[in-house]
Amino acid sequence: MFTLFLEQLLNGLQSGVMLFLMASGLTLVFGVMGLINLAHGSLYMVGAFACAAVAAWTGSFWLGLMASLMAAAIAGALVEILIIRRLYNRDHLDQVLATFALILIFSEGTRWIFGSFPLFLSVPEFLTGTVVMPGDFQYPLFRLAIIIAGFAVAAGLFLLIGKTRLGIRIRAGEADRGMIAALGVDIDRLYTIVFALGAALAGLAGAFVGTTQSVQVGMGEPVLILAFVVIVIGGIGSIKGALIGSLLVGFTDTMGRFLLPHAFATFLDPASATAIGSALASMLIYIVMALVLFLRPSGLFGTEA
């Protein structure tokens, strides 16, 4: 039971790290530009499809991974320049409508190019198999690699935001966009870069997740909802909040699915314990979100609105 518990903790960590790649882009875009981007999930789908298509064509997962970053970043930059740029001064309802339209365009466009049937994408050869973890249980090597890669990206992102000139501009843009424009920063270019960066992170998450799941049209929307839960919990605009929120959601979801049916089974018959436990487990992250909002209305690391 204890090793199972450890394994589930790792699973929670892995799902949290993947969520962070999604949520960090979303929260950056919201924090810096004040834009609600529903099409973020579509960029995740673009990444997964680019990776699957290039990996199938060249036989190399790594080229696929590169392609996912490039395709999502390019798609993000184009979308920002052509459409999103016109929305910054509109109210949130217009942004939601326009980016929802983008979801439909991306989905049908992808269906038009790749068809309705899921694509094949597999783990590279040397990352297949399992490793024996401390505590004596086997864990898939690829999931371990995802955890490490996710933390590496998170560290890179913190360095980028905290230590570089671009990071200073991004933070300044969050604080007062009128002022940095007045100081001569090319705000249009900054916005395009931030949007492409967020898109690339989403594309990377899509490529990673595509290797363990189904690469299909519409794969982005369920993740998008979770990513919104994460940034609401973490505080909108905060990268640190996105990290903590992602891990919290990842752990809550995994451990809830694992522990709740067992907990109910101590005083109910197995069939109803499973039914009630799994029903409650699927609500758990929303209950956590409601609790966080009740105690801290602007999220864990949000600035007071």
Partner 1 sequence: MKGIKTTIAAVAALLVAGAAQADPVKVGMITTLSGGGASLGIDARDGFMLAVKQANNPDLEVVIEDDQRKPDVAVQLADKMIQQEKVDVLTGIIWSNLAMAVVPSAVAQEKFYLSVNAAPSQLAGKGCNANYFSVSYQNDNLHEAAGGYASSAGYENAFILAPNYPAGKDSLAGFKRFFFGDIAGEVYTKLGQTDYAAEIAEIRASGADSVFFFLPGGMGIAFMKQYAQSGVDIPLIGPAFSMDQGILGAVGDAALGVKNTSNWSKDIDNATNKAFVESFVAEYDRLPSLYASYGFDTANLLLSAMGKANVNDKEAFRDALRAADFNSVRGKFVFGPNQHPIQDIYVREVVKEGDVLTNKIVGVALKDHADAYASECSM
**For partner 1, what does the binding mask look like between residues 21 and 60, x meaning CB under 8 A?**
----------------------------------------
272/237 Cα distance (integer angstroms): 41
Phi, psi of 118 (to 5 degrees): -60, 145
Among 282, 286, 296, 303, binds partner 1 (CB under 8 A): 282
Of the pair 117, 294, the CB lying nearest partner 1 is at 117
By CB under 8 A, what part of segment 155-214 binds partner 1? 209, 211-214
- Buried residues in 193-228 as b, exposed as e (16+ CB within 10 A): bbbbbbbbbbbbbbbbbbbeeebbbebbeebbebbb
CB of 126 to partner 1, least distance (A): 13
Minimum distance between the CB of residue 215 and partner 1, rounded to whole angstroms?
A: 7
Of the candidates 46, 21, 47, 23, the one whose C-alpha atom is nearest the C-alpha of residue 106 is 46
Q: Is 85 in the site for partner 1 (CB under 8 A)?
A: no
Residue 298 identity (one-letter amino acid): S
Within residues 225-254, the interface with partner 1 by CB under 8 A covers 254
Q: CB–CB of 182/93 below 8 Å?
A: no
List 58, 60, 130, 164, residue binding partner 1 (CB under 8 A): 130
With CB under 8 A as the contact rule, the residue among 142, 228, 251, 301 that binds partner 1 is 142
Minimum Å gap between C-beta 214 and partner 1 is: 4
> Residue 9 or residue 77: which is nearer to partner 1 going by CB?
9
Give whichever of 14 and 27 is closer to partner 1, judged by the CB atom: 14
Evaluate whether 43 touches 203 at the Cβ level (below 8 Å): yes
Of residues 206 through 225, those in contact with partner 1 by CB under 8 A are 209, 211-219, 221-222
Residue window 250-279: x/- pattern of binding to partner 1, with contact defined by CB under 8 A:
----x--xx--x--------xx--xx--xx
Binding residue count for partner 1, defined by CB under 8 A: 49
**Least spacing, CB of residue 305 vs partner 1, in Å:** 32
Strand 137-140 with 130-133, pairing: antiparallel
Site string for partner 1, 87-126 (x = CB under 8 A): --------------------xx--x----xxxxx-xx---
Q: Which residues lie near partner 1 (CB under 8 A)?
A: 1, 3-4, 7-8, 11, 14-15, 107-108, 111, 116-120, 122-123, 128-130, 137-138, 140, 142-143, 209, 211-219, 221-222, 254, 257-258, 261, 270-271, 274-275, 278-279, 282
